[in-house]
Amino acid sequence: MFKVVINPHWEITHSSADTPLDTAVLLGLLMSIQKTGSISKAARLVDLSYRYSWGLLRDAEKMFGTSLLNTDRGRGTTLTALAEKLIWADRRIRARLSPTLESLASELESEIGKTIVGKTKPLRLDASHGFAVDALLHQLTEANLPVDLRYRNSTDAVAALSRNECDLAGFHVPLGEFEKKAVERYTQWLNPREHCLLHLAVRTQGMFVAPGNPKKIQSLQDLTRPGIRFVNRQAGSGTRMLLELMLAGANISPFDIEGYQSNEFTHSAVAAFIASGMADVGVGVQTAAHRFSLDFIPLIRERYFLALPLAIMDDPLIQLVIDVVQSGYFRKVINGLAGYDASDTGKILLLSEAFGHVKTAAA
């Protein structure tokens, strides 16, 4: 099985006559300086000579016309606001592009495998981008299971399953008062006689705010306050659908929220947007807030499922997926994610067992 990794790469120029500044090495050096507080230690950490590191920093500062470092004998070397902004820009780029690049990498892996090895039968997984899905993909890769991954929103994933375009479709459903309406949206594509569910995790969704919550945001009602900048997930995503349900339940109009029409494609992209100071609040899973050092205001818990056809339950690839999800190691990984709960991870449920109180469209 071949593994393809595609990383974002960006350059900066000040004018057409300039040689482009390749940010890859510079960012690695800046992040190491941020971590160690020393240029010499940072250079060793990223395997660069001290002389080359100084030259790289001087070239960058010459292009920007300002310093990237602050030097204080008592505090060591720290980053200027510009250097920190460059690091945040890279984190935001990676957070926004990761689903697209990972999906493309999966397609290339499949095509390379077909060309060199011959016809293969990869597991076709369509799912919204999330931390439990990332953990599962990592475990499947470790098990050398060929996966054809497409990151797409929950609605599109379940619709694709109904058209037999994938073997597993990831989607999430809130617990509590909004569960029924959410289930009704998904189950128009799920047939209780043809599909079942593999429980992946329970996770917490809430609001991301800057450390210390400087805007004193406490509830959804605060999103309508003047001067509060909101960053949203993309239309059709499960998180945006959940937010729509919560706003309707609180009698809040989306038109009263500044930035509601924005579109970010991952929880991490929303967190990066806020962490870089470009917005004040967004909604997503707790893990993303934790990884970007943001404060988190919990709103609701939800279950994340993988839907699959009953007819392929005996397929060796499906059985391997089930074995991975039901393993003690995978449960430990899920429980290690901030805001995630693996108590029911690995359970196989009929739709009637998972959503017994909701009448499905195909019932």
Q: How confident is the model at residue 252 (pLDDT cuts 50, 70, 90)?
A: very high
CATH class of the structural domain 120-355: alpha beta
Question: Where do the structural domains in the chain lie, given as residue ranges?
Answer: 21-84, 120-355
Lowest mean pLDDT among 110-124, 310-324, 326-340: 110-124
pTM flag (> 0.85): no
Note the residue count of the chain: 363
Give residue 232's pLDDT: 97
CA angle (140, 266, 360) in 5-degree steps = 75
Phi, then psi, of 224 in degrees rounded to 5: -90, -5
pLDDT in tens, 257-273: 999 999 998 899 999 99
pLDDT for residue 208 is more than 70: yes
Cβ 145 vs Cβ 320: under 8 Å = yes
Domain boundaries 21-84, corresponding CATH code: 1.10.10.10
Rounded distance, CA 83 to CA 78, Å? 9
For the segment 292-302, the average pLDDT, to the nearest whole number, is 97
Residue 144 pLDDT: 84
Instruction: Assess whether pLDDT exceeds 90 at residue 361.
Output: no
* Average pLDDT over all residues of the chain: 90
Give Cα 73 to chain centroid, integer Å.
Answer: 40
Q: How confident is the model at residue 133 (pLDDT cuts 50, 70, 90)?
A: very high
H-helix or E-strand spanning residue 43: helix 39-45
- Phi, psi angle pair for 271, to nearest 5°: -65, -40
Higher pLDDT, 196 or 98: 196
Start-to-end C-alpha separation, the chain: 40
Which carries the bigger pLDDT value, residue 109 or residue 355?
Answer: 355
Torsion of CA 183, 163, 261, 291, to 10 degrees: 70
Residue 61 near residue 67, CB atoms below 8 Å: yes
Where residue 75 falls among pLDDT bands split at 50, 70, 90? confident
pLDDT at 349 over 80: yes
Residue carrying structure tokens 């990237």? 68
Letter for the amino acid at 6? Answer: I
Residue 363 pLDDT grade (very low, low, confident, very high; cuts 50, 70, 90): very low
Return the percent helix, strand and coil in the chain, to nearest 5: 45, 20, 35
User: 17: pLDDT confidence band, cut at 50, 70 and 90?
Assistant: low
Task: Report the amino acid identity of residue 75.
Answer: R
The percentage of residues in the chain with a pLDDT greater than 90, rounded to a whole number, is 67
Listed residue (265, 348, 266) closest to 309, CA to CA: 348
Residue 70 pairs with which residues in a beta bridge?
A: 78
Q: How confident is the model at residue 71 (pLDDT cuts 50, 70, 90)?
A: confident
Distance CA 85, CA 136 (A): 32
